[in-house]
């Protein structure tokens, strides 16, 4: 099967034209006419993962390997080291980032993973999903972190109760000024982000980056299996690992 055939399926599912201007989704490595043997799906790339991928395959990731323009490729950083492996093994790479955030991922995590009471999508921002909650903040935070498998996290508690929540997987704090809810779920929350949210009286629950976006893998495999004919290529989940570990009272844990 040609890469172009897979690309067209992905583009129909979640048009690449929907990506943000700063994004770099699409075919990043390879040629549309190349034929592939297997499809691997992963949120990111790392060397351990690439060493397991067979030659002449296609990888579909959530995060693009290449963001900034490359002026040299001398294999001394994360991006170029992995590019070398991809090219040597003739592995193609397609990334689906902000386009699938808008069309599928944020809704999938909110509805299918967190089981939130979704409000019909409001035409405020393509990324933010809203839901009715009407729960005690502590109870809600416990429920959310439990469903995501997060043992501990940072929160900003502005009110004892959560009426309405907005959610953006990954890193969504740049959208805080557009949030029309009393609580916001997203990842990569920084100190000054928290101060800003507090001044706006918007509670926060940090659902972390990897933990909230790892569902890209099962989401995309499910969508591909519905669109690939029987006996055609099968998509394989072979996710990269979370680079972070956490230290609790001097003990390192996953």
Structure tokens at 151: 């043992």
> pLDDT tens digit string along 157-197?
999 999 999 999 999 999 999 999 999 999 999 999 999 99
Q: Which among 223, 216, 221, 210 has a CA at the least distance from the CA of 39? A: 221
- Cα(28)–Cα(164) distance, rounded to whole angstroms? 39
Q: What is the mean pLDDT of the chain?
A: 92
- Cα(217)–Cα(44) distance, rounded to whole angstroms? 10
- Higher-confidence residue: 240 or 70? 70
pTM for the structure as a whole:
0.92
> pLDDT tens digit string along 86-136?
999 999 999 999 999 999 999 999 999 999 999 976 666 789 999 999 999
> pLDDT tens digit string along 23-60?
999 999 999 999 998 999 999 999 989 999 999 999 99
First to last CA, the chain: 38
Looking at residue 201, its pLDDT comes to 98
Looking at residue 246, its pLDDT comes to 66
Q: With a cut of 70, say whether residue 236 has pLDDT above it.
A: yes
- 207 by Cβ neighbours in 10 Å (0-12 / 13-18 / 19+) ranks as buried
In order of 5, 45, 104, 182, 221, the CA distances from 225 in angstroms are: 14, 22, 16, 38, 6
- Cα(254)–Cα(244) distance, rounded to whole angstroms? 8
- Cα(244)–Cα(94) distance, rounded to whole angstroms? 24
């Amino acid at each position: 099967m040609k890469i172009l055939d897979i690309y067209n399926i992905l583009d129909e599912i979640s048009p690449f034209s929907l990506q943000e201007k700063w994004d770099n989704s699409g075919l990043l490595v390879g040629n549309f006419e190349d034929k592939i043997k297997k499809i691997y799906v992963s949120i990111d790339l790392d060397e351990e993962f690439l060493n397991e991928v067979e030659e002449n395959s296609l990888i579909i990731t959530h995060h693009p390997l290449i963001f900034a323009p490359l002026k040299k490729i001398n294999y001394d950083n994360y991006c170029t080291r992995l590019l070398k492996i991809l090219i040597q093994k003739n592995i193609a790479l397609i990334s689906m980032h902000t386009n699938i955030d808008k069309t599928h991922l944020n809704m999938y995590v909110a509805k299918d993973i967190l089981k939130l009471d979704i409000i019909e999508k409001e035409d405020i921002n393509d990324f933010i999903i809203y839901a009715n909650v009407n729960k005690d903040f502590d109870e809600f935070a416990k429920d959310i972190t439990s469903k995501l498998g997060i043992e501990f996290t940072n929160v900003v508690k502005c009110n004892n109760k959560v009426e309405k929540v907005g959610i953006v997987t990954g890193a969504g704090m740049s959208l805080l000024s557009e949030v029309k809810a009393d609580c916001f779920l997203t990842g990569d929350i920084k100190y000054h982000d928290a101060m800003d949210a507090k001044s706006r009286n918007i509670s926060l629950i940090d659902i972390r980056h990897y933990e909230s976006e790892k569902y890209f893998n099962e989401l995309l495999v499910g969508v591909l299996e519905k669109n690939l004919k029987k006996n055609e290529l099968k998509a394989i989940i072979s996710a990269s690992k979370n680079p972070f570990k956490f230290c609790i009272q001097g003990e390192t844990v996953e």
